[in-house]
Amino acid sequence: MEQILKPSAHLSIGEISKHMYKLLIACALALTFTDAPVFAKGRQAEDFHSNIAYVVDVDSGEVLVDRNSLAISPIASISKLMASIVVLESGQGLAEPLRIEREDIARQSSAKWKLKVGTEISRMRVLRVGLMSSENRAINALARSYVGGTGAFVAAMNLKAKELGMAHTHFIEPTGLSPQNVSTAQDLVLLLQESMRYPLIQEFSTTEKFNVVDGIHAPQPFVNTNPIVRNEIMDVLVQKTGYIAAAGRCLVMEAKIKGRNIAMVFLQSNGKNTRFKDALFAKAALEKIQ
């Protein structure tokens, strides 16, 4: 049974906190961007704090921000976007049940929320949890159940990257826990655009909360790893976060801002919230454009 948590008619304590969070963000943005340059030529990259920052109007092709967009870097769980594309292109039944096995445990992961071993839910629900909550066991189970197993799954990820023209991208495993999963910001915009072709990837990557119910375990709650999505402070169309030590904090996202489809890539961010602040800065700067 699938449970996507919806807001009730009355505000809960959690919802009040969300509204307060939005108010604080709005106030901070108003103070921060009163005199902010609107993508002034030659100064764009100076106003962003991620070591790699790339912002593009994907409809016109206009590059708004470019800091180290051709630098090859580990991409952590951004890898899961490509994994999701491979799942959806495989033709395997989304209603087919998958069981989380011990071999799906990602020993390198310190994530707080993990699917319990023995959980049996549909491939579709496994994919939702893998995308929205960056659940490594979910992605490992999807790769293991692929025709030919995990090796064939990773090969399909690399083949798809080649087909998309992602010349500087390579995967050696499906989750992104390996620092050898690498790409560039320019390649990741191509990945975002391909992800936009799949309504399920858009939906699942922007799901705020989700309860896994399998009839065996107590409901297992998962939340989106992106606070911009959780707090509904931007019209996000598709997104993915990531983190391992070698990659730093990562974020790829496409959002609708003043009627424009804007792709953003922030890699090698220091500090837990730097990548999100960079995304909000881009939003505020674009909204100042008349």
Q: What is the pLDDT of residues 151-183, one digit of tens each?
A: 999 999 999 999 999 999 999 999 999 999 999
Q: How far apart are CA 42 and CA 40, in angstroms?
A: 6
Q: How far apart are CA 188 and CA 167, in angstroms?
A: 11
What confidence score (pLDDT) does residue 216 get? Answer: 87
Q: One of 77, 79, 195, 205 is an active-site residue; which one?
A: 77
What confidence score (pLDDT) does residue 46 get? Answer: 74
The secondary structure of the chain as a DSSP string is -EEE----SS--HHHHHHHHHHHHHHHHHHHHTTT--SS-TTTGGGG--SSEEEEEETTT--EEEEESTT--EE-GGGHHHHHHHHHHHS---TTSEEE--GGG--TT---S--PPTT-EEEHHHHHHHHHHS--HHHHHHHHHTSTTHHHHHHHHHHHHHHHTT-TT-B-SSSSS-STT-EE-HHHHHHHHHHHTT-HHHHHHHT--EEEE--SSSPPEEEE-S-HHHHTT-SEEEEEEEEEETTTEEEEEEEEEETTEEEEEEEEEE-STTHHHHHHHHHHHHHHH--
Q: How far is CA 107 from CA 85, 110, 140, 178, 180, in A?
A: 24, 8, 12, 12, 17
What confidence score (pLDDT) does residue 60 get? Answer: 95
Q: What is the pLDDT of residues 7-24, one digit of tens each?
A: 343 444 455 455 555 555
Return the structure tokens found at 101. Answer: 């096995």
Is residue 80 part of the annotated active site? The answer reads: yes
Is residue 41 part of the annotated active site? The answer reads: no
Residue ranges of the chain whose pLDDT lies below 50: 1-2, 5-13, 16, 26-37, 40-43
Q: One of 18, 80, 160, 283 is an active-site residue; which one?
A: 80
Q: How far apart are CA 132 and CA 211, in angstroms?
A: 12
Q: What is the pLDDT of residues 122-145, one digit of tens each?
A: 999 999 999 999 999 999 999 999
CB distance 254 to 239 below 8 Å? yes
Average pLDDT, the chain: 88
Q: One of 69, 133, 134, 183 is an active-site residue; which one?
A: 134
CB distance 136 to 111 below 8 Å? yes
Radius of gyration of the chain, Cα coordinates, nearest whole angstrom: 19
